[in-house]
Amino acid sequence: MEQRRDGYVNQPDYSGLQVAPQDTAPEVDHSYSIPQVVFDNNQKVVYALAPLEPYKDAADAPQVIGVVEDPTPPTEDRRPWWRLKRWIIAIVVIVLIIVGAVVGAVIATRPDDNPTTSPASNTNTNSTQRSACRDIVCPQILASAALDAWTSSPTLLLFVRGIDNSIWYTSAAASSLAPSWPTSQRWQSLASGSPFLSQPSALTWGNGTRASVFALNDPNHMVRTAKFVDPSKIPEWELIGGPVSSVVSTCAVNGTRPDLWTSSGEAVAHNYGFGPGYDNAWNVQSQTGWPIDLSFGVKISSRPGVLCRSSPSVHDLVVYGEDGAVRHMQYSETAGWTPSTNRGGKFLGEPVVVEVNGERLDFFGIGEDKRMYHFTWTKDGGYTLLEDVGGSFQSVPSVAVTGRGSRLDVLALGANDHLQHRVLQGSRWASEWEDLGVFGNSAPLLVNMTRTEPEKVGVFVIGAAGEVNQTTWTASSDLSWKNLIWKGMGGSMTTEFYRN
């Protein structure tokens, strides 16, 4: 310290020191992606987002449990022995801390084949973390279907496109308990049809005995499908037709016939399977393989949202026009196709429609202001007004219907890169959006896994390093999902997607 002329010593100035706030949320392994926009030869927009290498904090240093004293006795001209002992202890402690930190860092970077984490440990508090969906509205890029779907023990199939542009899948047997996803050879590649340009879509049909996956084959935008009858056998891809302009949307008429829909220009094109067993025959009546065109009278800017409701042969098509407005068209055996109905709004991404029961459907979409909007249609009451559900989102939602249509759980990726959850019971919403604190690199996917009580809903999302993360919710009266336990399923999945 500097001595002043008046004999006093200048004291250090501590007035500028501040106490740094401590974030109580634990951190976990996360990385971030830098979005890049590239165009293919056909000027279709592809958002390429390559995940970076994950970074993990070092483990806590081990505690010092002892020191070694200096056996050399002090001499008269040395400092007092107790001062030397204090310095020795300090040096030993510092060395042990450094060694412990290095060892901890090495251990922390070793991969975990099957990590189990609580919701809090998925919370991202690192400002450098960045979701692949930042500043855009990500469409759905995960898909699922089931075999033996109408039995008490269905087999669930999950599909996603890998960084090698192959379609990958995994399967698990569901029961009254949560499904057990295999830990070895978890993901298998359907490589014979590669490379694929689009994310997959999937469908259960044939009274629950068939499960098919669909994707656009690069570079000609042709639709191909692979059909599962036995989940232990990898099927071959077959060509349906094309070229088409959007990812295929699917539904099964009365649970039996597979129907496919894709948008092109002002029309939605329709194809369907038929024949004994619906195994190998497709209704291909034109050179493109898409015999029916339904015009909306405006250029379509989205993949169609499709329902084949349980009411006999009732279809619903929902699309976004180039003006951003949501439009609805409906088919019944008695009235045929109705004219397109404009429900207004200005939307981004793609529409999401769910069947609550045979006489009700619900629409969910993300507006230009990134808020979520919703309307209901019922057979007796028609349309409700388009309502603002709030929030701020960067993915399309996914919706699970439980309690025989009495409860809808809505999940989407929020503007803070965390999954946001809210419940709609009847016509009443929970008071606010619930931040689950779980980082997402994609739109989440909700899957109704069991048809018997207790109902189980699977929740899936792509994580920071391209892995798939999963949890299961058991239907209850609890409005919160914050206590769900998340597990990693591995994989190296792309966050790129195809859109109109």
pLDDT at 261 over 70: yes
Residue 196: DSSP 8-state: B
Q: Where are the domains of the chain?
A: 37-56+119-138+394-500, 57-72+79-108, 144-302
Residue 389: DSSP 8-state: E
Contacts of 35 (CB under 8 A, 6+ apart): 47, 48, 49, 132, 134, 135, 136
Residue 90's pLDDT is: 61
217 φ, ψ to 5°?
A: -85, 130
Residue 117's pLDDT is: 35
Is the pLDDT higher at 104 or at 238?
A: 238
Query: Residues of the chain with pLDDT > 90: what percent?
Result: 46
Give the model's confidence band at 98: pLDDT under 50 very low, under 70 low, under 90 confident, else very high: low
Strands 407-413 and 398-402: antiparallel
pLDDT in tens, 384-425: 999 999 999 999 999 999 999 999 999 999 999 999 999 999
Q: What is the mean pLDDT of residues 106-131?
A: 44
User: Which runs of consecutive H residues, i.e. helices, occur in 288-375?
Assistant: none
Question: Per residue in 414-437, is it b (16+ CB within 10 Å) or e — as a string?
Answer: beebbbbbbbbeeeebeeebbebb
pLDDT in tens, 309-338: 876 668 899 999 999 999 999 988 888 888
Is the pLDDT higher at 255 or at 402?
A: 402
Give the tokens for residue 438: 């779980």
Other residues' Cβ atoms within 10 Å of the Cβ of residue 335: 8
- C-alpha distances (whole Å) from 467 to each of 33, 112, 114 are 13, 12, 11
Task: Report the C-alpha gap between 458 and 450 in whole angstroms.
Answer: 10
Give the model's confidence band at 12: pLDDT under 50 very low, under 70 low, under 90 confident, else very high: very low
pLDDT at 48 over 90: no
**To which residue do tokens 């259960």 refer?**
204
Residue 450's pLDDT is: 80
pLDDT at 301 over 60: yes
Average pLDDT across the chain, whole number? 76
Task: Report the C-alpha gap between 96 and 261 in whole angstroms.
Answer: 64
Q: What is the mean pLDDT of residues 252-256?
A: 85
Is the pLDDT higher at 291 or at 269?
A: 269
Give the model's confidence band at 97: pLDDT under 50 very low, under 70 low, under 90 confident, else very high: low
Q: Cis omega (within 30 of 0) on the bond before 444?
A: no
Candidates 86, 199, 117, 174; CA nearest to 496 is: 199
Task: Report the C-alpha gap between 207 and 168 in whole angstroms.
Answer: 25
Q: Cis omega (within 30 of 0) on the bond before 195?
A: yes
Residue 142's pLDDT is: 99
pLDDT at 440 over 80: yes
pLDDT at 11 over 50: no
